[in-house]
Structure 1
Amino acid sequence: MSFPWANEYKPSHPAMVWLDEKLPLPRFVFNAVGAGYPVPRNLNYMYNFGVLAGVCLMIQIITGVVLAMHYAANTGVAFDSTEHIMRDVNWGWLLRYAHANGASAFFVVVYFHIFRGFFYGSYKAPREMIWLIGVLIFLLMMATAFMGYVLPWGQMSYWGAKVITGLFGAIPLVGEPIQTWLLGGFAPDQAALNRFFSLHFLLPFVILGVVILHIWALHIPGSTNPTGVEVKQESDTVPFHPYYTAKDGFGLGVFLIFYCAMVFFAPNALGHPDNYIPANPMQTPAHIVPEWYFWPFYAILRAFTQDFLFIPAKLLGVLAMFSSILVWFLLPWLDNSPVRSGHFRPTFKKFFWLLVVDVAVLGYCGGSPAEEPYVIISQIAALYYFAHFFIVLPIVSMIEKPLPLPFSITESVLGKDDAATVAPAE
């Protein structure tokens, strides 16, 4: 994003002048997160979650690299090496708990970030590419988290790998060869653990690269804001530093309080006790569940219990589970309302909160046993989930009468200026 009133980087120290000429890294930082990057002046705390997601990613990379130094990707000793990290490695317990709870914190932050995008219309033009790259990051996160859950080689790790990779077996003709190729055999074993460890180590760096693309794409049109009104004048913006570095710093402090409370006082609250039992291919756990952040999608997978015509229920569930995320790629074209922010879309706002409740219900059902009444509830919730995107959103965008938009971002912050007029909702 380029504005004529944006500050320009002007190094004064001779060393910085020389560095700027040879390698303009300071200029890059200044323009990306410094005073050279004008940002809408009305961003609220919901816009902190992008920075928090970056912090979570760095926590995961740093703790993961150190943990990899002590972990043995061998089915005979993987579980014991995990216990070795917990008991014998200096501060190993802290590293593992920080990494395990860091994954949960990462998904919490990203879910807030995604639903903020839903509400404020962050997927609308001209920011479609930012949104599409963001959905790709989420898919990479899911793959990385799943592979990391397998590494301790406990009961839930083993059977989770067996169930999730078994989903590919539902694909006609090519399903079973794909499943065998993923596992390196016919069941989770040494080859599968090697694959998952290698990819789990590699993918966070891929995510980091895609995050850089995400930020690059963001800087082209600039940040959206709670009103959805585009920047029109210099008074609509403030420099990112120090205004939003201070605001993000406060948000980071609050986040770290909750994160550290989980790491030090309830490190196993979000884990499954069966994963502290060594993997046993001969003993199936009574209730196989993935990590909590997969529960909504797991509920959609299990919602299909009957074959439809010639399509098996298992295949329908697999297609629905993947489609529940892939549908986000279509959001810029499913929602045709010219108004971005949910604050000015009263009908959309009601359905948005209904979607939030629906996803929460799916999450609860996904973590519950595959029995009634959870199955029928998950079926109803899954039906509404897809109806929201394919039916409700397009219809609401066509028939809804939005509220009047403020003339500018400045007006939304300081109040109406007599010299300005209120722009109609376009």
Structure 2
Amino acid sequence: MSFPWANEYKPANGLTQWLDEKLPLPRFVYNAVGAGYPVPRNLNYMWNFGVLAGFCLVLQIVTGVILAMHYAANAGVAFDSVEHIMRDVNWGWMLRYAHANGASAFFVVVYLHIFRGFFYSSYKAPREMIWLLGVVIFLLMMATAFMGYVLPWGQMSFWGAKVITGLFGAIPVVGEPLQVWLLGGYAPDNAALNRFFSLHFLLPFVIAGVIILHIWALHIPGSSNPTGVEVKSESDTVPFHPYYTAKDGFGLGVFLLIYCAVLFFAPNALGHPDNYIPANPLSTPAHIVPEWYFWPFYAILRAFTYDFFFIPAKLMGVLAMFGAILVWFFLPWLDTSPVRSGHYRPLFRKFFWFGLIPTMAVLFYCGGAPAAEPYVMLSQLASLYYFAHFLIILPIVSSIEKPEPLPFSITEAVLGKDESAVLNANPAAA
């Protein structure tokens, strides 16, 4: 969105003026994340997670590139090369733990970013493209994380690759040839490890490219805000810098404190001990489980235990697992409420806090639990509600609920309903 009151970039000296004429990179940065980009004045700390996700991506790329210098993508020595990094490379243990825990941190902030979008309906017009690109980023993250989990070539790496790629075998007719094509053979081995390493190295840069499109799409309509009310005047905004760079800086400091506490005091807390055992195709682990950030979708996959007419249970589980994410693409059209923010949607708020959030908590728990009762039954009930929430409850609620009154403007939401205060901050409303 073009704001007529946005600060204009003015080169400070001859060098910056010459650079602005030849390669206007400072102007681009100034308009994108500087004082030239007005932002709603009422953003809370839930809007920090986009910046934190960007930081996590940079962290993953930097640590990943350095680790790749010492890693060997060969089934015979991959496990030993990771041990070499941990024991012999200077600061290798920290780089490896930073990369492994950085993946978990990346998913934490992205999950919070997504659920903030759910609550504040960030997917609604005119921001549909921002949301759609965000879902694409999440899918790319999952693919990248899965391939990265295979690289240490421990027991969980090998059997995780075997189980997940085996899902493609459930697709009729083309499933098994597709699985062989993905692995480069009939089981995970050198060919699969090389392919996964190459794609794991490449995809973060693809994610970075989609993030650029994501931010570009964001700058067209401007940022959303907790009220869901669009910007009406200059008083509704503040420059991104220094106001939100300071706020994001504080959020980043809190994030780094938590991240470093995990990195230095509990680096293996989120991993699986079986992955410190070299991969053995002849020894199946007692409990095959993916990384924690895949657990809700793994629970949905395992929720289907019976064939449905001519559709095998395995195929239904695969379709449901992918459908659990693909349904997010349709949220801009499933939620037809004219009000965005959950703060002003009482019925929607109840289903969000007492329906969707507990359901996701159950799916997370059951995805990491053994494939036995009562976890299978809980997964089935939670999966049923998950799809019902998006495909049935959300469209019905958005059409029947009576929203609460919205503030006239962002300024009113910040300063309250005191008329004189609002008029002083927004003389145009007088």
| TM-score normalised per structure 1 | 0.98
Is 1:323 the counterpart of 2:323? The answer is yes
The one-letter amino acid paired with 1:402 is P
Identity within the alignment, %: 84
Equivalent positions of 1:49-68 (< 5 A) are: 49-68=49-68
Is 1:228 the counterpart of 2:206? The answer is no
* 2:365 equivalent in structure 1: 364
- Single out whichever of 351-360 and 179-188 deviates more from structure 2: 351-360
Measure, in 1, the Cα distance between the counterparts of 2:330 and 2:167: 24
Measure, in 1, the Cα distance between the counterparts of 2:95 and 2:391: 43
* 1:159 equivalent in structure 2: 159
Measure, in 1, the Cα distance between the counterparts of 2:254 and 2:16: 35
* 2:351 equivalent in structure 1: 351
Task: Give deviations 1:132-188, integer Å, cap 9, x for gaps.
Answer: 000000000000000000000000000000000000000000000100000000000
Give the number of aligned pairs: 421
- 1:14 Cα deviation from its structure 2 partner: 0.4
Partner secondary structure for residue 401 of structure 1 = coil
RMSD of aligned Cα (Å) = 0.8
Measure, in 1, the Cα distance between the counterparts of 2:230 and 2:310: 50
- 1:417 Cα deviation from its structure 2 partner: 4.5
* 2:401 equivalent in structure 1: 400
Equivalent positions of 1:67-106 (< 5 A) are: 67-106=67-106
The one-letter amino acid paired with 1:75 is A
- 1:62 Cα deviation from its structure 2 partner: 0.1
Measure, in 2, the Cα distance between the counterparts of 1:193 and 1:274: 19
Partner secondary structure for residue 385 of structure 2 = helix
Task: Give deviations 1:40-89, integer Å, cap 9, x for gaps.
Answer: 00000000000000000000000000000000000000000000000000
Partner secondary structure for residue 160 of structure 1 = helix
Equivalent positions of 1:282-293 (< 5 A) are: 282-293=282-293
* 1:424 equivalent in structure 2: none
Equivalent positions of 1:195-344 (< 5 A) are: 195-344=195-344
The one-letter amino acid paired with 2:176 is E
* 1:388 equivalent in structure 2: 389
Runs of 5+ consecutive residues of structure 2 not aligned to the other structure = 424-430
* 2:29 equivalent in structure 1: 29
Measure, in 2, the Cα distance between the counterparts of 1:301 and 1:12: 58
Measure, in 1, the Cα distance between the counterparts of 2:34 and 2:118: 27
Partner secondary structure for residue 39 of structure 2 = strand
Task: Give deviations 1:362-405, integer Å, cap 9, x for gaps.
Answer: 01000000000000000000000000000000000000000000
The one-letter amino acid paired with 1:272 is H
Task: Give deviations 1:12-41, integer Å, cap 9, x for gaps.
Answer: 210000000000000000000000000000
Measure, in 2, the Cα distance between the counterparts of 1:98 and 1:90: 14
Measure, in 1, the Cα distance between the counterparts of 2:352 and 2:127: 20
The one-letter amino acid paired with 1:103 is A
Partner secondary structure for residue 238 of structure 2 = strand
* 1:13 equivalent in structure 2: 13
* 2:127 equivalent in structure 1: 127
- 1:105 Cα deviation from its structure 2 partner: 0.2
| TM-score normalised per structure 2 | 0.97
Measure, in 2, the Cα distance between the counterparts of 1:356 and 1:111: 12
Partner secondary structure for residue 283 of structure 2 = coil
The one-letter amino acid paired with 2:357 is V
Task: Give deviations 1:259-282, integer Å, cap 9, x for gaps.
Answer: 000100000000000000000000
Partner secondary structure for residue 169 of structure 1 = helix
The one-letter amino acid paired with 2:109 is V
Measure, in 2, the Cα distance between the counterparts of 1:147 and 1:323: 21
Task: Give deviations 1:83-123, integer Å, cap 9, x for gaps.
Answer: 00000000000000000000000000000000000000100
Task: Give deviations 1:282-317, integer Å, cap 9, x for gaps.
Answer: 000000000000000000000000000000000000
Task: Give deviations 1:238-258, integer Å, cap 9, x for gaps.
Answer: 000000000000000000000
Measure, in 1, the Cα distance between the counterparts of 2:182 and 2:3: 49
Measure, in 2, the Cα distance between the counterparts of 1:243 and 1:310: 59
The one-letter amino acid paired with 1:400 is E
* 1:413 equivalent in structure 2: 414
Partner secondary structure for residue 238 of structure 1 = strand
Measure, in 2, the Cα distance between the counterparts of 1:75 and 1:21: 53
- 1:415 Cα deviation from its structure 2 partner: 1.1
- 1:418 Cα deviation from its structure 2 partner: 2.8
Measure, in 2, the Cα distance between the counterparts of 1:197 and 1:416: 57
Task: Give deviations 1:332-390, integer Å, cap 9, x for gaps.
Answer: 00000000000000100111112011011001000000000000000000000000000
Partner secondary structure for residue 135 of structure 1 = helix
The one-letter amino acid paired with 2:211 is V
Task: Give deviations 1:181-204, integer Å, cap 9, x for gaps.
Answer: 000000000000000000000000
Partner secondary structure for residue 407 of structure 1 = coil
Task: Give deviations 1:191-223, integer Å, cap 9, x for gaps.
Answer: 000000000000000000000000000000000
Is 1:375 the counterpart of 2:376? The answer is yes
Measure, in 1, the Cα distance between the counterparts of 2:69 and 2:361: 38
Measure, in 2, the Cα distance between the counterparts of 1:403 and 1:331: 22
